[in-house]
Structures are given as structure tokens and as C-alpha cells.
Structure 1
Amino acid sequence: MPEELLTVEAAAEALSLHVKTVLRFIREGRLRATKVGKQYRILRSDLDALAGAPTRNVSPRARATGIVDVQDVDQELLRRLSAILLGARQGHDPQAEPMSIDIAHDPIRRAAKVIAVGSPGDLAMLFKLVDACLEE
């Protein structure tokens, strides 16, 4: 479940403060916020941290980052690799941990890097797909 985003007005109401006070907290760095267009959005957890609310018990989870260097990459291999990895990403269970996949290609060196961030189990599955793609 994604975390709730609040407007400055909703955050001010939740804290029983004036909107300008919340904006000042954001400018001073006391309250984290993300600017979307001309407005700020505040995560509920950041608002709770500012207010001193007790944090929810969150079970520990592991995140892993993996990089695979692939040498002698032609356009066909790059296309297949991209299709397989992005297909695996699209088929990823939406309730599972989020996963990020980036592919960097250097056509001059004919090399590619696959950079993935996710749970260790998801990355193991992903790297098995990379290995299978390279064995073809």
C-alpha cells in the first residue's frame, strides 16, 4: 500500500498550525516535502515524525543492489535483454517489494550494465533471466 501524500493545507490542519508555518518548516528543512508543480506534497510518515507520533512497528526487510556487466553487446542482444527484464518487471507482483531496473548501454565499447534494486529473492530471479538470455 503506497504511503499517503498530504497537501500543505491538510498537513497544517492535521498539526493545528497555519499554512504559512508549515511552509516555513519545509523551507527550513524541518519537514520533508516534494514539490509537485507549484505545490508541495508531504508524506504522512514525515508529518508524523515532525509531530513526534510513535512509529509503526515495521518488520525488517532486506534490499539488495546488483550490477551485471555484459560485454560484446549487439543491438539484438540489447533488445532481447531489455524485453526480458522489462517484462519481468511488468509481471512483478504489485504487493511485493518495489523493484527498480536500469539498463545502461555504451555502443562505443559494445557493453551494457544492468542495475537492479529490490529484494534479494527478486534480484536472484532477475539475474537468472539475464544469465539465460546470455546463454542463448
Structure 2
Amino acid sequence: MVQQWYSVEQVADLLGLHVKTVRGYVRDERLNAVRVGKQYRISRDDLARFTGARTGPAAVDRHVETSSFVQIDPIDRAAMDRLTSAVLGSLRGEPGEPPLRVDTTYDEERGSLKFIVIGSPTRTAELLKLIDVLVEQV
């Protein structure tokens, strides 16, 4: 990745400071800079550290994911089919939303249905509420 560099004047504009103030920060070594000829250049990372902004991997959009297990028992085969169809049919999200991953397992001998839901906390919570409502109806 190419490092981005700013002049003292650009940093002053970005921070709403006077150019002399920024030069003072550089001279006092409060703001790291590289001298190029008679001018200073401040890297984007140094400016971010100076202002307290995040840099590196923490600065990118975070990926937050949750895993949930829902076990429903006893439940007969017909009710399991209806519930599973309704839950899986509800998974279409808005375009651009990260999809939920849902797996199901059914143990017919025990009459036990399990949903394994993996995805964003918000979408997972919405699906768990739906499952709660649907279980009351089957």
C-alpha cells in the first residue's frame, strides 16, 4: 500500500490550525515528520497517531459475527417442515446486507430440531425473534 504524505499546510487545513502551530508541533516532536529539502512531510499514519485516529487493520470496517444455536423439542416432522420452510424462506435480506447462514438438523427419533445461525448480531436477533414467534404457532 502506498503511503500518503501531507505538507504542513495541508495538515493545518485538515486540523483547522495555523501553519505555525503545526510547525511548532513538528519542532517539539509532538508530530512526527520527515524533512524533504526545506519542507516537512507528515505521513498519514503519523497524522492519525497525532489526532488519535485508528490506523491499520483496526481502521477498516470491522466484521462482527455471532453464532447462535436454537433447539426445539419435542417437535414432530410436519411441524419441523413448516417451521424450517418459514425460517429459510425469511432469509432474503436487503441488497448489500451480509447474508445469514442457517443450518438445520432434525433428529426424528428424539423429535428435536436445531437451528445454527451465523451472521451479524442485528440480523441474527431478528431471526431469533421470528423463530420465537413461529414456534408458538406450530
Task: Please confirm whether the aligned pair reaches a TM-score higher than 0.5, indicating the same fold.
Answer: yes
CA distance in structure 2 between the partners assigned to 1:101 and 1:63 by the alignment: 13
How well do the aligned residues superpose, as a CA RMSD in angstroms? 1.9
Q: 1:75 matched to which residue of 2?
A: 77
Q: Name the counterpart of 2:65.
A: 63
Separation in 1, partners of 2:93, 2:133: 18
Residue in structure 2 matched with residue 99 of structure 1 by the alignment: 100
Calculate the TM-score normalised by the size of structure 1: 0.55
SS at match of 1:113: strand
1:81-120 to 2 correspondences below 5 Å: 81-89=83-91, 91-120=92-121
Structure 2 equivalent of residue 42 of structure 1: none
Counterpart Cα distance in 2 of 1:67 and 1:94: 26
Counting only pairs closer than 5 Å after superposition, residues 18-29 of structure 1 correspond to structure 2 as: none
Extract structure 1 runs of 4+ deviating beyond 3 A.
none
Write the distance in 2 (CA, Å) between the matches of 1:85 and 1:115.
Answer: 12
- Secondary structure (helix, strand or coil) at the match of 1:72 reads coil
SS in 2 for 1:85: helix
Task: Find the residue that maps to 1:96 and give its secondary structure.
Answer: coil
Matched residue type, 2:93: H
Q: How far apart are 1:97 and its partner, in Å?
A: 1.2
Radius of gyration: which is bigger? 2
Structure 2: give runs of 5+ residues left out of the alignment.
1-55
Decide whether the 8 Å contact of 2:77 with 2:111 is kept in 1.
Answer: no
The sequence identity of aligned pairs, in percent, is 28
Aligned-partner Cα distance in 1 for 2:124–2:79: 20
Q: CA deviation at 1:109?
A: 0.6
